[in-house]
């Protein structure tokens, strides 16, 4: 196991390098002069030159990239143009953890609802419950998060007053954003769980277990579900990574001061170093989550060789 983890970590190095190159090029893909775009029109040339000097845009692109990598190796993502504060401090003081909490809670909700719905749908195949669950899952996949969030705010926060419509921290603030972000993931997990469970339930060892008189609950949860979890785990990992990046709209709708809203505010303020830093952090988190998903395969299926 240890050797596998080391090997997978080494395999992520080219991916990380590729991510840093793409994120670095964001600044240089801006049409025209990046410094001029940042400060806007009608600004004195001296201020434009100062921004260009501060960002190191006067250097050749390879030199800029290696300077960028050198800063990253020291944990330096640069400084925000808007606040002149280190981007690392602004991200990891609170925003990163708020987004992480939102993603974790949404994943827990999505896994609970998705697995429950998928198992019921598979066990009661072609029944009214199966059809109903799949129709609800289809609606969950089709609804945009921002639209669902606005509907939840109007009904549960404004009309009924059960929850607070904005912010993050208390349970009354957290419930609606978590439901908004987790609904789509629950629908995807439910569909994948149903499909994987149906494939496993038809296997010979499941029929043998039933023929031996093993209780149906044990057959479903110990034999069928555990062997059906490999593709489901993959989807869960992808959904968690998607929640980290997809929190942008949810945080904007509910005025949650996380990384998603931080990116939106930075784009509006043309603070591109902040955009670079947040995109890089989210990308590295996605790579790390995929590593954890690969390692978890061994727990659910002992036949998988990680050596």
Which distant-in-sequence residues (6+ apart) come within 8 Å of 111 by Cβ?
186, 189, 236
Q: 101-137 pLDDT, tens per residue?
A: 898 999 999 999 998 898 888 888 888 888 898 888 8
CB 302 within 8 A of CB 246: no
pLDDT at 302 over 60: no
Enter the CATH code of domain 96-300: 1.10.3720.10
List the single range of 29-38, 118-127, 137-146, 241-250 with lowest mean pLDDT.
29-38
Q: 35-50 pLDDT, tens per residue?
A: 666 666 666 777 777 7
Mean pLDDT of 154-173: 87
- Is residue 299 very low, low, confident or very high in pLDDT (cuts 50, 70, 90)? low
**Domain residue spans in the chain?**
18-73, 96-300
Tokens 């603070």 correspond to 271
Looking at per-residue pLDDT, the higher value among 247 and 147 belongs to: 147
Residue among 242, 228, 214 at smallest CA distance from 121? 228
- Is residue 5 very low, low, confident or very high in pLDDT (cuts 50, 70, 90)? confident
Tokens 């979890």 correspond to 229
pLDDT at 52 over 60: yes
């Amino acid at each position: 196991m240890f050797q596998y983890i080391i090997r997978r970590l080494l395999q992520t190095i080219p991916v990380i390098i590729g991510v840093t190159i793409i994120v670095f090029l964001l600044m240089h893909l801006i049409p025209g002069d990046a410094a001029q775009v940042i400060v806007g029109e009608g600004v004195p040339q001296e201020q434009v030159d100062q921004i260009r000097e501060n960002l190191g845009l006067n250097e050749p692109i390879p030199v800029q990239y290696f300077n960028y990598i050198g800063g990253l190796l020291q944990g330096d993502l640069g400084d925000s143009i808007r606040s002149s504060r280190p981007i690392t401090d602004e991200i990891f003081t609170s925003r990163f953890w708020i987004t992480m909490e939102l993603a974790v809670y949404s994943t827990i909700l999505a896994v609970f609802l998705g697995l429950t719905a998928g198992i019921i749908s598979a066990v009661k195949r072609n029944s009214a419950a199966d059809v109903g669950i799949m129709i609800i899952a289809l609606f969950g996949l089709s609804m945009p998060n921002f639209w669902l969030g606005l509907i939840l705010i109007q009904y549960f926060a404004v009309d009924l007053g059960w929850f607070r419509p904005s912010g993050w921290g208390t349970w009354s603030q957290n419930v609606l954003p978590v439901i908004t972000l987790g609904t789509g993931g629950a629908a995807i997990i439910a569909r994948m769980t149903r499909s994987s469970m149906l494939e496993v339930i038809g296997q010979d060892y499941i029929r043998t277990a039933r023929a031996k008189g093993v209780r149906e609950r044990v057959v479903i949860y110990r034999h069928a579900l555990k062997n059906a979890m490999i593709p489901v785990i993959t989807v869960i990992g992808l959904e968690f990574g998607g929640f980290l990046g997809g929190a942008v709209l949810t945080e904007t709708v509910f005025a949650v001061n996380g990384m998603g809203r931080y990116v939106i505010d930075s784009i509006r303020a043309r603070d591109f170093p902040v955009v670079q830093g947040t995109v890089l952090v989210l990308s590295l988190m996605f790579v790390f989550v995929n590593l954890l998903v690969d390692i978890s395969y061994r727990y659910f299926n002992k036949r998988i060789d990680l050596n």
